[in-house]
Amino acid sequence: MIFGRDLGIDLGTATVVLVTRGKGVIAREPSVVAMDRATGKILKSGSAAERMLGRTPGNIAAIHPLQGGVISDFEMTQSMIGELIKKVISFSLVKPRVLISVPSGITEVEERAVIDAAINAGARKVYLCEAPVAAAVGAGLDISKAEGNLVVDIGAGTTDVAVLSLGGVVRSKSIKVAGDAFDEALIKNIRKKNNLLIGKTTAEELKRSIGCVFPKTEEQTMEIKGRSLMTGLPSNLTVSSTETIEAFDEVSSEIIEAIHSVLEETPPELVADVAGNGIVLTGGGSLLWGFDRLIESATSIKTRIADDAELCVSYGMVKKMEELGEMEDGPLNLARRRQLRG
Ligand SMILES: Nc1ncnc2c1ncn2[C@@H]1O[C@H](COP(=O)(O)OP(=O)(O)OP(=O)(O)O)[C@@H](O)[C@H]1O
Ligand SMILES: [Mg+2]
């Protein structure tokens, strides 16, 4: 049976998740590759390569081949997908059909890159699905009816805001501002305010442990280590949760703005549905403390974070794979999408 050879790939900026129809999630790896600069050969991919980030000698580069939800390094992405397919499908005579999720704002050129990378990596046919559609299905929403639902998928490199109805995207906006932008904001803010340079890992730890985008009832603090820009020596700093809200303000405002602009463009009947159904948040970035409260207070619409937010797109893809037989492979039909949008 060919079905067993079908693969779903959530090709994320931070994480790649592989799913099959029968087994669900079968692999989850950071989307990082390490390569030899001289030969261009891939040395490691996934978690082994992630451990090398920021710690490589001059001849090795560890990079994220996807940025802002789309391919930024074609060859590295292709090799990464190839390695993953090899890992999960052994002794295969039949090449797999592959379903890949892409941000709703993807351009046709970017779509082609995803398709070509997967074909070169060993896929027989490539099908694309829009991430917010998969996210909604994976979050357990019934989007098949003529009723509006609003999903905000906050990943690492892209935030996808979409109003869905009748199984498709009615209005959407994707911006290249998401989880990673919060880490960068912390680094920038602490550097400016405290003359302290902190690394990405420290910023990520700080964000996850005490970081928030909405005031907490009880303030929390955390001690972090960095390098003083004054002395060049290691130095410690205590950061409070309130300070993180300040640091995050610009980034969270951009996300709120994207939600507002989608709501403004959405037909009034669907907005009324959304107001009734509430907003659903998916993606790892939505786990930043207080995102549901912030969005709720900015929109006056009830907002909840989906269970297993980071895996909603993957779960949705498992379901989508049942429809592979009826789907068309190749780029999403842009013309049809435009028509739907009216
Ligand atoms: N508990 C948490 N608190 C704050 N942020 C978190 C938490 N858990 C994960 N994140 C953030 O979620 C992001 C990863 O989310 P996700 O796996 O959905 O992204 P992705 O699908 O790889 O990226 P994209 O969809 O943008 O291509 C990272 O920026 C990470 O820092
Ligand atoms: Mg994602």
CA 306–ligand 2 middle distance (angstroms): 14
Last residue of a domain, one of 247, 274, 292: 247
pLDDT for the residue 335? 45
pLDDT for the residue 3? 44
Exposure letters 22-32 (e unless 16+ CB within 10 A, then b): eeebbebbbbb
The per-residue pLDDT for range 220-242, each reduced to its tens digit, is 999 999 999 999 999 999 999 99
> Is 211 found in the same domain as 270?
no
Residue range 39-57: average pLDDT? 84
CA 213–ligand 1 middle distance (angstroms): 15
Q: Are 163 and 172 in contact (CB under 8 A)?
A: yes
Residue range 200-229: average pLDDT? 97
pLDDT bin (cut points 50, 70, 90) of residue 73 is: very high
Residue range 270-280: average pLDDT? 98
> Is 263 found in the same domain as 170?
yes
pLDDT averaged over every residue in the chain: 92
Query: Distance between CA atoms of 47 and 69, rounded to whole angstroms?
Result: 19
CA 179–ligand 1 middle distance (angstroms): 5
pLDDT bin (cut points 50, 70, 90) of residue 1 is: very low
Ligand 2 (single-atom ion) residues, CB below 5 Å: 12, 155
> Is 269 found in the same domain as 152?
yes
Give the CA angle between residues 23, 143, 127 to the nearest 5°. Answer: 50
Domain range enclosing 55:
2-134+313-341
Last residue of a domain, one of 247, 279, 297: 247
> Is 72 found in the same domain as 114?
yes
pLDDT for the residue 57? 80
> Is 118 found in the same domain as 74?
yes
Q: Are 157 and 150 in contact (CB under 8 A)?
A: no
Ligand nearest to the CA of 284: 1
Q: Are 283 and 178 in contact (CB under 8 A)?
A: yes
> Is 274 found in the same domain as 305?
yes
> Is 287 found in the same domain as 215?
no
> Is 129 found in the same domain as 61?
yes
Residue range 295-300: average pLDDT? 98
> Is 106 found in the same domain as 220?
no
Of 19, 70, 208, 245, which is best to mutate to test ligand 1, by the most ligand atoms within 8 angstroms of its C-beta? Answer: 208
> Is 223 found in the same domain as 154?
no
* Whole-number percent of the chain with pLDDT over 90: 80
Nearest-CA neighbor of 271 among 294, 295, 293, 299? 299
Last residue of a domain, one of 207, 227, 247: 247
Number of domains the chain is built from: 3
Q: Report yes or no on whether pTM surpasses 0.85.
A: yes
pLDDT for the residue 56? 77
Does 105 contact ligand 1 (Cβ within 6 A)? Answer: no
Q: Which residue has the tokens 């700093």?
A: 237
Query: Distance between CA atoms of 316 and 134, rounded to whole angstroms?
Result: 4
CA 13–ligand 2 middle distance (angstroms): 7
Helices (H), 195-239: 200-209
Q: Which residue has the tokens 């659903």?
A: 280
- The CATH number of whichever domain residue 234 belongs to comes to 3.90.640.10
CA 312–ligand 1 middle distance (angstroms): 12
- The CATH number of whichever domain residue 298 belongs to comes to 3.30.420.40
Query: How far is Cα of residue 309 from the mean position of the Cα atoms in its chain?
Result: 11
> Is 94 found in the same domain as 52?
yes
**3-class state of residue 222 by DSSP:** strand
Does 316 contact ligand 1 (Cβ within 6 A)? Answer: no
pLDDT for the residue 39? 87
> Is 326 found in the same domain as 286?
no
CA 98–ligand 2 middle distance (angstroms): 17
Does 68 contact ligand 1 (Cβ within 6 A)? Answer: no
Does 156 contact ligand 1 (Cβ within 6 A)? Answer: yes
